Structure 1
């Protein structure tokens, strides 16, 4: 489709670098990616028509991912807008009690992120509960932040969120397979979160009365939250349906292995049934609208990433990367996690980082003989290592949620990185070197 033109590897690298620089300069990420792709194609030897064809081919490659991301919006809308996510969080914290407060807060954030809520929204939901517990138990805001952010990172790699969908489709594996593959790394991430937050419980500023001023208003709405039983319907149906095929493969049940249920219709169906179970069927349109708005930015970034991915795959860069790594006698397996780490750091976003890493380096990663599922798991866990940098919105959303100044919020970056790095190292050892 691109007229068989092969763009020079150095031009593709310049296009990718330009896109990243523009993102760091706060230009809209979509325009940054498109501009980088266009400039890279033109200086790499493509004419105007070939440049359009290169971008078009790249955009077509992400259509399947876009459809599934939009489907995930329905589930996210129901979980966030109905109050069911908050019900899950409050129940977990209440059941585990103050003695296990840090573990409860990390687990609560992990669970509601794992069932399809965006990690910034998950932190916003649990933050009031965390501040209340922190005030009672004299836990510092830094420790609370690490508990919430670390738990969210662990949940993010096992959720049907856009980043997981992008990792799965970037390597042509099932969403459920990536969710299952990242489960053990997620547990290690949760354990590291609890350890770090416990060590930090007396480090940093304490929760003050002024930090709790806005919580009273939210407590009034707590009485109107759905029941735990009805809140569980949406995530349970979604997870069970998505896992039927992997369960069939493990247990050698032929009927289940032939049952290829796709997230594109599983997630909306689970959302609709869940809304009806909560007696909120009349609000489905409202939930759908809210979910679609949440996904709009992700879809647009997917289009931009598709364009830059088209540039990379139409260039000689993947072959050059393979040659360079072989010449350096470094394991090619490491390209997967490193690509995820670097792209997420550059964009300060897990979703954008995973999309960029898969679009730009999937061909090179698979060229080393890395299995597609292993590659997806390593890129995905790499994407949560340093995605919390200040040039992204997650840093500022979480700072506001915890009523922290920028300096104090910045102290959490290192500890959040250690949580993400734990998940990434475990995934790399399991799938990259042990070949599980």
Structure 2
């Protein structure tokens, strides 16, 4: 494949085909592979070279895949042990009904931030939201915005597949990308609470039949003190190196332990702290199963990223940006926005953006960490479209119709857009 340059039109055609197939409900993995194959052939590659393009692209995401699989241990422990539910209940009870929207947004943010997938985090908090919303007269639109916006904020500071993809895409430590997303995440949380509060009376309310008044049996769940051990250990271990770099303590900054080790270790320590060490096989198997779909999509995204990387598309885009006189800094968030919108997925959007436009973004003079954060936050803007599973999972969780759920997308885009703007201003222009 050395010396092969696929025409930019082939890369665009392949990407367009993949998007069309995803929208036509073909399995996203096959959609991405078929798009990559067709694009390579259209762009001038022969059959043998096309295979090389796919293999090269999928090989490039293996580092991300390994870390995502490792993250499955922590995710499995948090979800299956009841630790995530314990944390959600504690946060909502602490704030009380008067600050219901803040409590719901914060609960979803924290649960997502500690390594639970955003759709799962929404599913966990949704029954609490329906009950609180029915009692307080809060509309479903406001409730789901609180959950979704809080989840988006937590997602950019989490050890989840999207953050791992952003870190690996620019060859960075996961902890640095998580830490860099903190200020944009806080901005996203604030906008979520403000907008959701303004929407409290807009849209349908929660019916009595939809509210879960029966107290959830929490006797099988661990107490809060034990439930937070796993995420606490993960955060402490992940932050050792960044804290050392910030404070100038060489002993700490020299400690470089990859998330590949940290996330499983934190999960196992948390499991032992909760006294559920005998369930390690069941919980890790569950975590692995939950990661399988994500891993397959990442491999599919790697195939089409290989197509775009082997083409001259990035060169053409850089030339267009320079000719238009637009700051090259904007390529990072825009690529995240477009790729996530195309696939209806934050993690797939991030890996497509980093794999396809990563080098072009760096060639425009953007620093790797700034690029990672801007791509990552950009991918949260319009990632909740109907072609992705998040749209449907969240609609079902709040018992909303497709039309009602569609009405929420502009408000979610406002939250994601706020985080993308904050990241672009901070890392693209101020730092």
Q: What residue in structure 1 maps to residue 246 of structure 2?
A: 250
Q: What residue in structure 1 maps to residue 370 of structure 2?
A: 374
Q: What residue in structure 2 maps to residue 428 of structure 1?
A: 424
Q: Output the CA distance in 2 between the equivalents of 1:391 and 1:20.
A: 9
Q: Secondary structure at the match of 1:386?
A: coil
Q: Output the CA distance in 2 between the equivalents of 1:205 and 1:54.
A: 50
Q: Output the CA distance in 1 between the equivalents of 2:314 and 2:412.
A: 31
Q: What residue in structure 1 maps to residue 344 of structure 2?
A: 348
1:238 aligns with 2:234: yes
1:397 Cα deviation from its structure 2 partner: 0.9
Whether the aligned pair in 2 keeps the contact of 1:29 and 1:304 (CA below 8 Å) is: yes
1:283 aligns with 2:282: no
Q: What residue in structure 1 maps to residue 321 of structure 2?
A: 325
Q: Secondary structure at the match of 1:211?
A: coil
Q: What residue in structure 2 maps to residue 396 of structure 1?
A: 392
Q: Output the CA distance in 1 between the equivalents of 2:201 and 2:194.
A: 13
Counting matched residue pairs gives 431
1:91-240 alignment, distance < 5 Å: 91-212=90-211, 216=214, 219-240=215-236
1:412 aligns with 2:408: yes
1:43-54 alignment, distance < 5 Å: 43-54=42-53
Q: Output the CA distance in 2 between the equivalents of 1:39 and 1:406.
A: 33
Q: Output the CA distance in 2 between the equivalents of 1:183 and 1:306.
A: 28
Give TM-score, length-normalised by structure 2.
Answer: 0.98
Q: Secondary structure at the match of 1:70?
A: helix
Q: What residue in structure 1 maps to residue 20 of structure 2?
A: 21
- CA RMSD in angstroms comes to 1.0
Q: What residue in structure 2 maps to residue 315 of structure 1?
A: 311
Q: Output the CA distance in 1 between the equivalents of 2:421 and 2:388.
A: 24
Q: Output the CA distance in 2 between the equivalents of 1:243 and 1:254.
A: 14
1:3 Cα deviation from its structure 2 partner: 3.1
Give TM-score, length-normalised by structure 1.
Answer: 0.97
1:21 Cα deviation from its structure 2 partner: 1.4
Whether the aligned pair in 2 keeps the contact of 1:189 and 1:420 (CA below 8 Å) is: yes
Q: What residue in structure 2 maps to residue 336 of structure 1?
A: 332
Whether the aligned pair in 2 keeps the contact of 1:3 and 1:50 (CA below 8 Å) is: no
Q: Secondary structure at the match of 1:209?
A: coil
Deviates more, 1:7-16 or 1:71-80: 7-16
Whether the aligned pair in 2 keeps the contact of 1:140 and 1:206 (CA below 8 Å) is: yes
Whether the aligned pair in 2 keeps the contact of 1:61 and 1:306 (CA below 8 Å) is: yes
1:85 Cα deviation from its structure 2 partner: 0.4
Q: Output the CA distance in 1 between the equivalents of 2:390 and 2:322.
A: 37
Q: What residue in structure 2 maps to residue 41 of structure 1?
A: 40
Of the three residues 292, 297, 311, the one matched with 2:293 is 297
Whether the aligned pair in 2 keeps the contact of 1:69 and 1:165 (CA below 8 Å) is: yes
1:364 aligns with 2:345: no
Q: Secondary structure at the match of 1:222?
A: coil
Gapped regions of structure 1 (runs ≥ 5): none
Which runs of at least 4 in structure 1 moved beyond 2 Å after TM superposition? Answer: none
Q: Output the CA distance in 2 between the equivalents of 1:378 and 1:146.
A: 22
1:220 Cα deviation from its structure 2 partner: 4.3
1:301 Cα deviation from its structure 2 partner: 1.0
Q: Output the CA distance in 2 between the equivalents of 1:431 and 1:325.
A: 19
